[in-house]
């Protein structure tokens, strides 16, 4: 039975129970109590039958739930002639299951928004014209037209001068983002400006948005550990309920008191509170660009005590940036960068692409190089506007211009030195490094405030490089030179002290992500292997989203526990009052209905969790000289 048919069935059961209750009351006040009892009985039977079938199915799956208490209360009320109480319980229980479906539907609203935004076709440039094609036909390299209001169908790079995209549905960013030519455009974002072109870099099935849809569907089908824990509690709660009901009957000889106890014990709070609160937490986290693969990882995420971070691409940006530009013969820094970037357009080396990106950020218009020859691992030689340019390692460029390599021992560990020569003369050097992500320090401070006791760095890089990059962050430990299996061993060792979260972005991090209690992947640029192995995917390339994710997880779990404790506590108090004769079966049923509604409304508070949004400092400008090298200044 699909979800729509299930919802209709629950609605029909609720309507029959409500009609039976109201019609019975009409006959009762008209003085026809005999007919009223028959009508109430008829209204209860469908709800009791549906409940019995559900119980038998659960037992067949090896599950014993709290539905048994509701079935006992309705059956006992009918057997001892308390048909009005039975009718109230039928309305209460069928209304509770209906409200559960409504609440979960409301909680999944943002996730459904993600699913409903999936585009079906794309517009491709072809032979000087445009054609609409299914998403499955898009191939890497295709140039696609993204009209105003269209959803970007696949991951790609902007092929126009600029683009304005709305990523709010994916990342929670409220303002459109400007993307320059060559910038990455994430599938699932919406064109908020003029039409622009995108060059596809992946097929639709391998793009970010397709992965998000798959993860959402998995999340919706999940069952939380707390939900399973609630099922285990059900045996204890059932035993307590039967004991109190039997004792009330045994010591007073009045079976109606036992019926009242069973009616008050109908355990909707324990059944509904946990899934509603946790699914609401999933929805809220997705709004902030944190996709959690189900209620299970969310509940575990709320109990994390140790955080292990990868360095490159996670704690750092993962892409080298220019720290400083040093002129050797008085040439202007902008000219040095312009010549180097123009020639580096012909190279796919990460350092070369970083130089090109830095020039484009400054708004430079780069001329096309000619007669280019690239020496793998060494550098590039070619002509830019008639001038011979050489860009590469210091030893490579120095040998090409007849000079000895300079002494650059003052450069900080982990930095990359790019030499530039023009017309046979060494004109300067670009000093590059992989800086910390903006806001990394504030993010770690916020996580400590959220109760993370230990924060460790695990990297395959050299210890001196890792120490320089993380200086001042106050980490509790640094493990350098690790292989993928050593990262796994570190995770397993730390798990002895409590739940561990591992954050990474590369293929080499995938084993450690899978071994951790909660693995978090940087999904915007990370490898597909790490995203598949992870329990949580950050949809935007910002490590600071981790803080709001953990805050939402802890808030949702806290609300779930509060709802359960308050609901069950009030139910037990009501059971005791009923055992001593202070509540009739009808009064007990009405009291339990009030408790149910209060508990569900409390659980829905998880939809309004407002995590602390970190303030990201503005990046610094490229500087000259050596002063900023060791500080890791970013352009």
Q: Give yes or no for a contact between 187 and 206, defined as CB atoms under 8 angstroms apart.
A: no
Q: Give yes or no for a contact between 415 and 629, defined as CB atoms under 8 angstroms apart.
A: yes
Query: Between 171 and 136, where is the model more confident?
Result: 136
Q: Give yes or no for a contact between 107 and 280, defined as CB atoms under 8 angstroms apart.
A: yes
Percent of the chain with pLDDT over 90: 14
**What's the rounded Cα separation, in Å, for the pair 116 and 111?**
9
What's the average model confidence in pLDDT over 41-47?
91
What's the average model confidence in pLDDT over 289-293?
83
State the pLDDT confidence band at 389, using cuts at 50, 70 and 90.
Answer: very high
Both structure tokens of 413: 């560990």
State the pLDDT confidence band at 45, using cuts at 50, 70 and 90.
Answer: very high
Percent of the chain with pLDDT over 70: 80
**What's the rounded Cα separation, in Å, for the pair 217 and 172?**
20
- Per-residue pLDDT at 105 exceeds 70: no
**What would the pLDDT profile of 486-509 be if each residue is shown by its tens digit?**
888 999 899 888 899 998 876 567
Query: Between 379 and 223, where is the model more confident?
Result: 379
State the pLDDT confidence band at 33, using cuts at 50, 70 and 90.
Answer: confident
State the pLDDT confidence band at 101, using cuts at 50, 70 and 90.
Answer: low
CA 247-248-253 angle, to 5 degrees, is 105
Both structure tokens of 594: 């009030």
Domain segments of the chain as ranges: 121-217, 289-317+437-549, 321-433
- Please tell me the CATH code under which domain 289-317+437-549 is placed: 3.40.50.1000
Q: Which pLDDT score is estimated for 414?
A: 58
Q: Give yes or no for a contact between 470 and 443, defined as CB atoms under 8 angstroms apart.
A: no
Both structure tokens of 5: 């048919």
How far is residue 329 CA from its own chain's centroid?
51
End-to-end distance of the chain based on CA atoms, in angstroms?
A: 57
Q: Which residues contact 457 (CB under 8 A, 6 or more apart)?
A: 308, 309, 310, 311, 315, 466, 470, 475, 477, 478, 479, 480
Q: Which pLDDT score is estimated for 421?
A: 93
State the pLDDT confidence band at 619, using cuts at 50, 70 and 90.
Answer: very low
- Per-residue pLDDT at 145 exceeds 90: yes
Query: Between 625 and 233, where is the model more confident?
Result: 233
Residue of 142, 197, 231, 310 marked active site: 310
**What's the rounded Cα separation, in Å, for the pair 455 and 543?**
14
Burial class (CB in 10 A: 0-12, 13-18, 19+), 309: buried
- Please tell me the CATH code under which domain 321-433 is placed: 3.40.1110.10
**What would the pLDDT profile of 531-575 be if each residue is shown by its tens digit?**
666 788 887 777 888 888 999 999 999 998 888 888 888 888 888
What torsion, rounded to 10 degrees, do the Cα atoms 68, 70, 75, 76 define?
A: 100
Both structure tokens of 356: 């090109």
What's the average model confidence in pLDDT over 252-271?
79
Residue found by looking up tokens 């900023």 in the block: 628
- Per-residue pLDDT at 381 exceeds 90: yes
Q: Which pLDDT score is estimated for 411?
A: 63
Closest residue by Cα to residue 237 from 67, 86, 30, 118 = 67
**What's the rounded Cα separation, in Å, for the pair 543 and 317?**
9
**What's the rounded Cα separation, in Å, for the pair 602 and 277?**
8
| Strands (E) located in 394-482 | 416-422, 425-433, 454-458, 477-479
**Which range among 422-426, 435-439, 456-460 has the greatest average pLDDT?**
422-426
What's the average model confidence in pLDDT over 588-615?
80
**What's the rounded Cα separation, in Å, for the pair 199 and 346?**
18
Query: Between 114 and 443, where is the model more confident?
Result: 443
Q: Which residues contact 467 (CB under 8 A, 6 or more apart)?
A: 478, 480
Query: Between 192 and 64, where is the model more confident?
Result: 192
Mean predicted lDDT score pLDDT of the chain: 79
C-alpha neighbours within 13 Å on the C-beta side of residue 20: 28
Query: Between 341 and 598, where is the model more confident?
Result: 341
Q: Which pLDDT score is estimated for 586?
A: 85
Q: Which pLDDT score is estimated for 622?
A: 37
The question of whether 485 is a catalytic residue gets the answer no
Q: CB count, 10 Å around CB of 363?
A: 7
CA 407-409-412 angle, to 5 degrees, is 140
Residue found by looking up tokens 């990523």 in the block: 167
Query: Between 543 and 333, where is the model more confident?
Result: 333
Phi, psi at 135, each rounded to 5°: -60, -30
Q: Which pLDDT score is estimated for 407?
A: 64
Pairing of strands 500-504, 306-309: parallel
Question: How many angstroms separate the Cα of 164 from the Cα of each of 151, 161, 189, 209?
Answer: 12, 11, 10, 18
Q: Does domain 121-217 bear CATH number 2.40.100.20?
A: no
Q: Which pLDDT score is estimated for 213?
A: 63
**What's the rounded Cα separation, in Å, for the pair 240 and 259?**
14
Q: Give yes or no for a contact between 419 and 426, defined as CB atoms under 8 angstroms apart.
A: yes
- SS3 of 160-190: CCEEEEECHHHHCCCCCEEEECCCEECCCCE
Query: Between 371 and 57, where is the model more confident?
Result: 371
How far is residue 393 CA from its own chain's centroid?
41
């Amino acid at each position: 039975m699909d979800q729509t048919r299930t919802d209709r069935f629950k609605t029909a059961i609720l309507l029959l129970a409500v009609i039976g209750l109201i019609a019975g009351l009409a006959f009762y006040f008209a003085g026809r109590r005999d007919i009223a009892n028959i009508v109430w009985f008829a209204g209860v039977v469908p709800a009791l039958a549906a409940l019995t079938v559900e119980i038998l199915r659960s037992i067949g799956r090896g599950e014993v739930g709290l539905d048994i208490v509701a079935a006992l209360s309705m059956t006992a009320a009918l057997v001892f002639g308390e048909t009005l109480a039975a009718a109230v319980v039928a309305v209460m229980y069928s209304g509770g299951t209906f409200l559960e479906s409504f609440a979960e539907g409301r909680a999944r609203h943002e996730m459904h928004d993600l699913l409903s935004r999936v585009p079906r076709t794309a517009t491709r440039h072809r032979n000087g014209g445009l054609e609409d094609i299914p998403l499955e036909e898009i191939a890497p390299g295709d140039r696609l037209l993204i009209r105003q209001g269209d959803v970007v169908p696949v991951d790609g790079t902007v092929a126009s001068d600029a683009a304005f995209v709305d990523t709010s549905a994916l990342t929670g960013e409220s303002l459109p983002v400007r993307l320059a030519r060559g910038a990455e455009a994430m599938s699932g974002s919406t064109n908020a400006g003029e039409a622009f072109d995108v060059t596809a870099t992946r097929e639709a099935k391998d793009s970010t948005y397709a992965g998000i849809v798959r993860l959402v569907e998995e999340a919706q089908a999940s069952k939380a550990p707390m939900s399973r824990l609630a099922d285990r509690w059900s045996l204890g709660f059932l035993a307590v309920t039967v004991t109190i009901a039997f004792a009330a009957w045994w010591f007073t000889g009045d079976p109606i008191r036992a019926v009242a106890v069973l009616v008050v014990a109908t355990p909707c709070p324990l059944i509904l509170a946990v899934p509603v609160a946790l699914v609401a937490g999933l929805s809220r986290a997705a709004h902030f660009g944190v996709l959690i693969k189900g209620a299970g990882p969310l509940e575990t995420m709320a109990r994390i005590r140790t955080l292990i971070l990868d360095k490159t691409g996670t704690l750092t940006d993962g892409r080298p940036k220019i720290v400083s530009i040093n002129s050797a013969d008085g040439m202007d820094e902008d000219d040095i960068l312009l010549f180097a970037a123009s020639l580096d357009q012909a190279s796919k080396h990460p350092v070369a692409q970083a130089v090109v990106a830095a020039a484009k950020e400054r708004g430079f218009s780069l001329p096309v190089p000619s007669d280019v020859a690239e020496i793998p691992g060494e550098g590039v030689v070619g002509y830019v506007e008639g001038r011979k340019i050489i860009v590469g390692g210091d030893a490579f460029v120095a040998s090409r211009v007849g000079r000895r390599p300079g002494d650059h021992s003052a450069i900080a560990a982990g930095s990359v030195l790019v030499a530039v020569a023009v017309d046979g003369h060494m004109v300067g050097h670009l000093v590059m490094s992989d800086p910390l992500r903006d806001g990394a320090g504030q993010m770690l401070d916020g996580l400590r405030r959220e109760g993370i006791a230990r924060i460790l760095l695990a990297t395959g890089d050299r210890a001196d490089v890792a120490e320089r990059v993380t200086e001042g962050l106050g980490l509790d430990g640094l493990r350098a030179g690790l292989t993928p299996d050593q990262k796994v061993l570190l995770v397993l060792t730390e798990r002895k002290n409590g739940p561990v979260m591992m954050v990474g972005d590369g293929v080499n991090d995938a084993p450690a992500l899978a071994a951790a209690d909660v693995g978090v992947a940087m999904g915007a640029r990370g490898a597909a292997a790490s995203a598949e192995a992870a329990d949580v995917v950050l949809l935007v390339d910002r490590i600071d989203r981790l803080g709001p994710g953990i805050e939402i997880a802890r808030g949702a779990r806290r609300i779930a526990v509060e709802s359960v404790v308050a609901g069950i506590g009030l139910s037990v108090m009501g059971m005791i009052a009923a055992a001593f004769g202070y509540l009739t079966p009808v009064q007990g049923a009405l009291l339990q209905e009030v408790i149910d509604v209060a508990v569900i409304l409390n659980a829905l508070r998880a939809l309004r969790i407002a995590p602390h949004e970190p303030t990201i400092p503005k990046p610094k400008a490229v500087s000259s000289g050596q002063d900023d090298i060791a500080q890791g200044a970013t352009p």
